[in-house]
Every structure is written in C-alpha cells, then in structure tokens.
Chain A
Amino acid sequence: MAMNAGGIIVVNTETVPGKTITETLGVVTGSTVRAKNVFKDIGAGLKNVVGGELRAYTELLGESRDEALQRMVAEAQARGGNAVVNVRFATSAVTAGAAELFAYGTAVKLE
C-alpha cells in the first residue's frame, strides 16, 4: 500500500528525507465513519467462536483507512501542497457498530 497518490508524498516522519520543506500549509485531515454490514457481522460472529483473525473487519477497516488517507491527500492538494508530513492515525468508536477512522498531518511544499 504505497501511497504516492497524485505525486503527493505522504510520510509519518517530521521531514521528507533528502528534500527541504519550503513552506507549511497547515493541518489537513481526512476521516470516514463506517458501519459494519449486518451480514458480515454475523459471519464474524461465527468466526469469533473459535477465535483468530476476523477477516471481514480487517478488510473493512483497511478500506476505510485508505479512504480517510485519500481525503487528507485531496485536501493537501487543494491547498497547493505537494507532500504531507508527520501523518498520524486515530480510530474512535463513535456509536455502536460504527468506527471513525481519522488521518491527519501537515501539508507542506517541498522545493
């Protein structure tokens, strides 16, 4: 899952190695709130009996996180940045059966 969408560099380090930051454009965020599918929930419930990985949930959260990241990148692009540094992720349970996946970082201009 290498993310270099639209030529935008996304890293979770404070600087982009080998490049110089010329301007910071503020914090950009992206989030999605997703609910689980009831049928997938039943399937996962059956898997939960014997334990191990619950693949339906893994996929769902992976997709949602990608989407949150895409939204963050789109915001950075709209501000005219060409990289997002110091990216952080957060997950919170907003309501029963739904999770918010949240990505944020600092949009910057690289030389």
Chain B
Amino acid sequence: MAIEALITVLAFFGIAVVPILLIIIAGLVGGQIMKSMQNKLTEREQEIIQKYGKDTLSSLSMTAKREVSETGIVMASLVVGPNYWQQFVSKIQSLFGGTLNYYDQVIALGRNEAMQRLREAADTAGWDEVVNVRLETSKLTPMVSNKESNKAMELFAYGTGIRYS
C-alpha cells in the first residue's frame, strides 16, 4: 500500500520534524527580536530622562511637598512570551533546577517595557510625575486546558499621575 506508507511518512514528518524546525527558527530569529526590543527600549528611556531630567516613576505614595493641581490613574501593560527555543532550553534546564536564564531575560525585558510604557502614557496625558507605582505579573491560561499551548505572561504597571501647579 504505497498511499498508506506515504501518509505514515508525512504524518511522521509533521509530528517530528515541524516542531524541531520551529525550535531552530526560533533560536535563529528570537535572539534578534529580543535584542532590537532592548535597543528600542533603551533609546526611549533616554528620551524620557532627557525630557524630565530624572525618572518620572516612583513607588512612594508622595514624593515632593509641592502643591498638586490634578491627579488621575495611569496604566500600561504588555503580554510577552518566551519563544520556542527559549521554552525548549528552559524545559531541559528545569530538569536540573537552578536559574532559568531565558525566563529571567524575557520577564525583565517585559517589565522594563511596561514601566517605559507607563512613563510614556504619563507623558502623553501630561502628568509631571507618577507616584505609588505598582507592578503586577500574571500568567495567561492556554485556550485548550489539557494541552501545552501559548506560554504568555502579562506584565502590568499602574500608578497615580500628578500635575504640579
């Protein structure tokens, strides 16, 4: 049965080869994507620091004893996920325990990006400073519960924008 043999070969190809191919592609492209994200982020951070002369975020409930004219909430968030290569390496690493470097990197980058978005949101809304900044991390559940699906986490930053009079 030539057709059946062909189907078996194709099925094997689909099951075994495609994931490996995706992992290799992710390994080749993923590093570049993260690098360019990091570079853009550093540039934007510098822009804000140059404009205000300091970091506009603060986790204190009130920073300066100055007259405040207006207040309001500011929020920013993003969802990031490690790529297939990073997931693959982390899975092997987690057998032995210790630090999962790739998850470290992805979360750190995502959190910095969320904080930068908060700075930019505050800048657009015209707030002079953001106080009482809180950071939150949450995991998104996969669409199909019994299957390994998209690994994604949400990094969320919020605070109170204040405008000095």
Contacts and interface: CB of A to CB of B under 8 A. Distances in A.
A14 B69 CA distance: 17
The size class of the interface chain A forms with chain B is: 35 or more
A89 B152 CA distance: 19
A90 B113 CA distance: 20
Contacts of B25: 49-50
A41 B152 CA distance: 11
Contact of B72 (A10, A65, A99): A10
A48 B77 contact: no
Contacts of B143: 36, 38, 41, 96-97
Contact of A18 (B22, B67, B78): B67
B37 interface: yes
A4 B72 contact: yes
A12 B149 CA distance: 35
A51 B30 contact: yes
* Interface SS, A side: mixed
B10 to A, nearest CB: 21
A96 B77 contact: no
Nearest to A93: B141
B136 interface: yes
A16 B61 CA distance: 10
Nearest to B81: A48
A88 B67 CA distance: 25
Given A2-B125, A51-B86, A91-B138, A61 B77 contact: yes
17 contacts: A2-B127, A13-B131, A45-B150, A49-B25, A49-B83, A50-B26, A50-B33, A50-B83, A52-B80, A53-B113, A54-B79, A54-B152, A61-B77, A62-B77, A89-B75, A93-B140, A93-B141
Given A16-B71, A51-B33, 19 more contacts: A1-B76, A2-B72, A18-B69, A36-B143, A41-B150, A45-B149, A48-B83, A49-B83, A50-B25, A50-B26, A52-B30, A57-B79, A62-B77, A89-B134, A89-B158, A91-B156, A93-B138, A97-B144, A99-B138
Enumerate the 7 nearest inter-chain pairs by beta-carbon distance, A residue then B residue, closest first: A51-B83, A96-B145, A57-B79, A2-B125, A17-B68, A91-B138, A97-B143
